[in-house]
Amino acid sequence: MMDEKQSIATPNVNYSDPPPQYQGESHPGTNAPLYQAQQPYPGQPRFGPSLPVCVIQGSQQYLDFPACVRCVRCNTDIVTDIQYKPGVLTWMSCGIICLVGGWIGCFLIPFCINACKDVVHTCPNCKCVIGKYDKLR
């Protein structure tokens, strides 16, 4: 066992230095490097890093996740911001829990769960309401 007075010696390492350069290893008996960068196949398009593409549909169905749309007010292609608001499903769940015997305070649970609430889609630029997803339709 190690004595409490003894300490483990740590090497003096400067982590801000760049890593050392390594020479390319080769297969035994050949001069070919061990690893090579993969070349694209002939006729394969070359793509660089890109942003996600939003496909705007004519009739957009809004759900409980952000959607790619064109804002009708500021006329820009955006990904909507979503907000959860109490709706019919929230109030119905609250009433059913209250009738079943959740009068102690459990009837407030639907107001804390986003799955019970309606979703309002807004434009992040101009804050215009773009659409709404009602959980009960």
- Residue 41 belongs to some domain of the structure: no
Per-residue pLDDT tens over the stretch 29-81? 555 555 555 666 666 565 555 444 454 555 677 788 888 888 888 888 888 99
- Residue 114 belongs to some domain of the structure: yes
- Residue 22 belongs to some domain of the structure: no
Total structural domains within the chain: 1
Nearest to 56 by CA among 64, 65, 68: 68
**What DSSP line would sit under 79-128, residue for residue?**
E-EEEEE--HHHHHHHHHHHHHT-TTTGGGGGGT-GGGSEEEEE-TTT--
Per-residue confidence (pLDDT) for residue 69, from 0 to 100: 87
Q: What is the pTM of this model?
A: 0.55
- Residue 89 belongs to some domain of the structure: yes
Nearest to 90 by CA among 135, 44, 23: 135
- 34 in Cβ contact with 40 (< 8 Å): no
100 CB burial (10 A radius; 0-12, 13-18, 19+): exposed
Per-residue confidence (pLDDT) for residue 29, from 0 to 100: 58
- Residue 63 belongs to some domain of the structure: no
Structural domain harbouring 86: 68-133
- Residue 118 belongs to some domain of the structure: yes
Task: Return mean pLDDT, the chain.
Answer: 75
- Residue 51 belongs to some domain of the structure: no
- Residue 82 belongs to some domain of the structure: yes
Per-residue confidence (pLDDT) for residue 51, from 0 to 100: 46
Per-residue confidence (pLDDT) for residue 24, from 0 to 100: 55
